Structure 1
Amino acid sequence: MVTLGCKVNQYETQLVYEALRKNGYREARDGETADLCVVNTCTVTNTGDSKSRQVIRQLARKNPGTRTLVMGCYATRDPQQVADLPGVFEVVTDKRELPDILERHGIHDMPVGISHFEGRKRAYVKVQDGCILKCTYCIIPSVRPGLQSRSPQQIEEEVRRLVDNGYREIVITGVHVGHYGVDTTRGKSGKPPFRLWHLFQKLDKIPGDWRMRLSSIEAVEINDDFISAAADCEHLCPQFHPALQSGSETVLRRMRRRYSMARFLEKLENMRERLDDPAFTTDVIVGFPGETEEEFEETLQACRDARFMKTHVFPYSTRKGTKAADFADQCPPQVIKNRVQRLSDLERDLAERYYESRLGLPAKVLVEREISGRPGWVRGTDERYVPVELPGTADDIGRFVDVVGRSASRESMQADRIDGQS
């Protein structure tokens, strides 16, 4: 099984993996030809399409005669192109039909949720699907249309199961997480509102030594109810990911985003006043059509003002089927490359500044791996998503370790263990 793209895709792959295992499948061993291959594709950029095709062709070469089931956003967007690739016998254009499709191939027992997360120390839980926004650069609303929220009870059962199975961190994810519950408890439904903050309040009651993290949230969805609930939650990590995309008011209007920079920054300050030194991470698209040097400088300044701990920097790429693909004044590739470098440099400076602000303070690190070439040291992330390096062994992987930061670089924080081990 191969997954490309986002946390939602990774969750959906895990769901299919557990369905296959439940119905008698096992992973092919080295040197063994797989009877079935599953590829979960991404289409958020042209590169996603290209990588998806490449993976499908490679699987066909390495597993002659295999059958490949292809799902994901690229399969939805261009099913015929996917169907024409070698080895493909089934293209899932609508994941709601996945149980029926799998049943046709002998998989009769489809789980309603996951119990494990292969290859990871944290587990993702998808709580909703779909997006109804109309951002001019984004293809996702056309391949994941509408809103579909899972029931709170089903989500709670899944999280309890994962915590019981030893997962110390649960990441709450979706295509548009902040719209959780909008489709099921609005308008004439007759049900009382049950939104994202109600959900993490409900999950917070699950006992145990674990934590939950929100994968993303739109700034306009950070209201007083959200902040109050977040402040009261014991298990919720004080790290939030409001996507900025641009710090220029004029670019934001061309993107058809729903906020002003002043309002965006106000939301972050409101959270800083109520929560314990929250960390903020974000996404920024560089080189959006028509972006001037002045507009890019506004983005740099906005990142400084927001004091982001981490910024995922994305060079804009034209996406056929979006409104922005037809905009005039597409930025030259060299200009985009230069701006990506400048924003990446700033991102590392801001990261180091935040890491330094946490020195001398206690933190709880989920250890994820040993550090290659550095015996006796491990690496993980703390509750604020700070990457931390600390003394440790393979026995620490998957565990929480209490630490205190002692030094910082642009890449990570170095820490000492509070438990006295070295």
Structure 2
Amino acid sequence: MSATLKTITLGCKVNQYETELVREGLRRAGYQDAAEDQAADLCVVNTCTVTAEGDSKSRHVIRKLARVNPTTRIVVMGCYATRAPEEVAALPNVAEVVTDKREIPDLLQRFGVIDIPTGISRFTGRKRAYVKVQDGCLLRCSYCIIPHVRPNVYSRPVEHIRDEVARLVDNGHREIILTGVHLGHFGVEQNHGKPREEWIRLATLVRELCRLPGEFRIRLSSIEATEVTRDLISVLAENPTRIAPHLHICLQSGSDAVLRRMKRRWGSKLFVDRCRLVRESLDQPGLSTDVIVGFPGETEEDFAATCQVVRDCGFAKVHIFPFSGRKGTPAYDFPDQIPHEMKQQRLVHLQQVEAEVRDEYFRSLLGRTLQVMVEGESEYLPELSPGVPDGFAGTSCRYAPVEIEATGLQPSTLVDVVGHRVADGRIIARLASS
């Protein structure tokens, strides 16, 4: 009987990709996925340490696995394992702690994998496939622990990424999301000493992937404003059907004073100008972002400036986080910490601003053809469109959630739709051919 395996991932897209890489390698060595109610011989936990809550969740998952699978061996990897390896090693049934993701090939060899994968072939349980193209962060934002646990900048070879994307498309994935710890720094460590015309950057990689055959689209995950270069924008403009016209550009705050305390690398004007350049260069692109509310010392004027930038940029989605101090970062010890109640009030207010600008953007898309990846049956249409017996849900190329009034669609397929109204933060649409 084959050895059984369970994998659990906490945290970001990069973690999810790395877990899938380990899982695929172990399956090559004969491991089989354990059923939901089946004990596993080996458990792999990929941890997160962005917040103290991430550490707590990681410990909870490991203890539960040891309790439910008393004879299992647990391998722990990820950012929490890197930050506190001795603490992780002391948890029940932990057999190995992987403190550096560059050790993954060695880990796989120790578990009998001879043919070490250079990438994945499919993303089990997901219709979208994440592809990690880069690791490590050189920045030192005052609130972020990640540069301390992933300091080594490394970009994967373009040919490995190209071959991996081709395999994923061949295996039915119709959306490929390029991700990294600092995606915009793809290639930077390879360019030292080279003439500028030979530099490899993110735009270089995206151009290469656009040449691959097949029915699929590429989406970029989060990127910094200064890395949304004219070259990258040109690649998106030249390939409107291959690359989703959507960028997730990290804001964090619209106040220059707060941005300085955060040790961000630009002010709000540069950010707004870069978003404006994207809008002028592409066809009604979707923009999304991250915002931290209640950063130490944030005044009402600072918060108002953030709300104004959100309005000025017209985001389709804002991921809003109340500031949570991370021990080991400078911001953890900053004076003028904001009370919890005030952070919650600002979060709710910014959610209201987001809903206004989101719906305004969604309404601007009505009547035009949108490409949607079907994800499954709709849970909302019977309520949002009385009289419509069923339908399907998906995400448009411009990052708008779409409810499709249609029958007979297959998940993981790309379809063209036309929206006719906006309801509850979603576009209600019909097939373009109907």
Shorter-chain TM-score range: over 0.9
Partner of 1:340: 347
Matched, 1:370 2:380: no
Q: Percent identity?
A: 54
Partner of 2:267: 260
One-letter code of the match for 1:172?
L
Partner of 1:285: 292
Instruction: Find the partner of 2:323 among 312, 316, 329.
Output: 316
Q: CA deviation at 1:312?
A: 0.2
List aligned pairs for 1:31-180, cutoff 5 A: 31-180=37-186
Which of 409-418 and 154-163 deviates more?
409-418
What are the ranges of 5 or more consecutive residues in structure 1 without an aligned counterpart?
none
Measured against aligned partners, the alpha-carbon deviations of 1:41-95 in whole angstroms (never above 9, x if no partner) come to 0111111111111111111111112111100001000111111111111110011
Q: CA deviation at 1:232?
A: 1.0
Q: CA deviation at 1:352?
A: 1.2
Partner of 2:361: 354
What are the ranges of 5 or more consecutive residues in structure 2 without an aligned counterpart?
1-6, 383-388
Measured against aligned partners, the alpha-carbon deviations of 1:185-209 in whole angstroms (never above 9, x if no partner) come to 2235998101001110111111222
Measured against aligned partners, the alpha-carbon deviations of 1:164-183 in whole angstroms (never above 9, x if no partner) come to 11111100100000000000
Measured against aligned partners, the alpha-carbon deviations of 1:3-44 in whole angstroms (never above 9, x if no partner) come to 111110010011011011111001112432110111100111
Using the alignment, how far apart are the partners of 2:152 and 2:111 within structure 1? 28
Whether the aligned pair in 2 keeps the contact of 1:370 and 1:393 (CA below 8 Å) is: no
Using the alignment, how far apart are the partners of 2:36 and 2:362 within structure 1? 42
Using the alignment, how far apart are the partners of 1:310 and 1:65 within structure 2? 45
Using the alignment, how far apart are the partners of 1:376 and 1:325 within structure 2? 49
- Classify the secondary structure of the residue corresponding to 2:223: coil
Using the alignment, how far apart are the partners of 2:195 and 2:47 within structure 1? 34
Aligned length, in residue pairs: 420
Using the alignment, how far apart are the partners of 1:334 and 1:274 within structure 2? 41
- Classify the secondary structure of the residue corresponding to 1:40: strand
Matched, 1:406 2:420: yes
Whether the aligned pair in 2 keeps the contact of 1:365 and 1:380 (CA below 8 Å) is: yes
Partner of 1:222: 228
List aligned pairs for 1:292-307, cutoff 5 A: 292-307=299-314
Q: CA deviation at 1:412?
A: 0.7
Partner of 2:401: 387
- Classify the secondary structure of the residue corresponding to 1:183: helix
One-letter code of the match for 1:204?
C
C-alpha RMSD of the superposition:
1.5
Whether the aligned pair in 1 keeps the contact of 2:293 and 2:343 (CA below 8 Å) is: yes
Using the alignment, how far apart are the partners of 1:289 and 1:356 within structure 2? 36
Whether the aligned pair in 2 keeps the contact of 1:370 and 1:394 (CA below 8 Å) is: no
Matched, 1:233 2:239: yes
Q: CA deviation at 1:137?
A: 0.5
Instruction: Find the partner of 2:337 among 330, 337, 355.
Output: 330
Whether the aligned pair in 1 keeps the contact of 2:22 and 2:108 (CA below 8 Å) is: no
Which of 38-47 and 367-376 deviates more?
367-376
Partner of 1:248: 255
| CA distance 1:191–1:72, shift in 2 (3 Å) | farther
- Classify the secondary structure of the residue corresponding to 2:33: coil
Q: CA deviation at 1:106?
A: 2.3
- Classify the secondary structure of the residue corresponding to 1:118: coil
- Classify the secondary structure of the residue corresponding to 2:371: strand
Using the alignment, how far apart are the partners of 1:85 and 1:183 within structure 2? 37
| CA distance 1:68–1:353, shift in 2 (3 Å) | same
- Classify the secondary structure of the residue corresponding to 1:396: coil
One-letter code of the match for 2:284?
D
Whether the aligned pair in 2 keeps the contact of 1:349 and 1:410 (CA below 8 Å) is: no
| CA distance 1:30–1:223, shift in 2 (3 Å) | closer
Using the alignment, how far apart are the partners of 1:21 and 1:174 within structure 2? 24
| CA distance 1:30–1:6, shift in 2 (3 Å) | closer
Q: CA deviation at 1:233?
A: 2.0
Partner of 2:279: 272
Which of 354-363 and 375-384 deviates more?
375-384
Measured against aligned partners, the alpha-carbon deviations of 1:239-283 in whole angstroms (never above 9, x if no partner) come to 001100000000000001111111111111111111111110000
State TM-score, norm by structure 1.
0.97
Whether the aligned pair in 2 keeps the contact of 1:76 and 1:94 (CA below 8 Å) is: yes
Partner of 1:199: 205
Whether the aligned pair in 2 keeps the contact of 1:204 and 1:233 (CA below 8 Å) is: yes
Q: CA deviation at 1:314?
A: 0.8
| CA distance 1:189–1:148, shift in 2 (3 Å) | farther
Using the alignment, how far apart are the partners of 2:351 and 2:102 within structure 1? 38
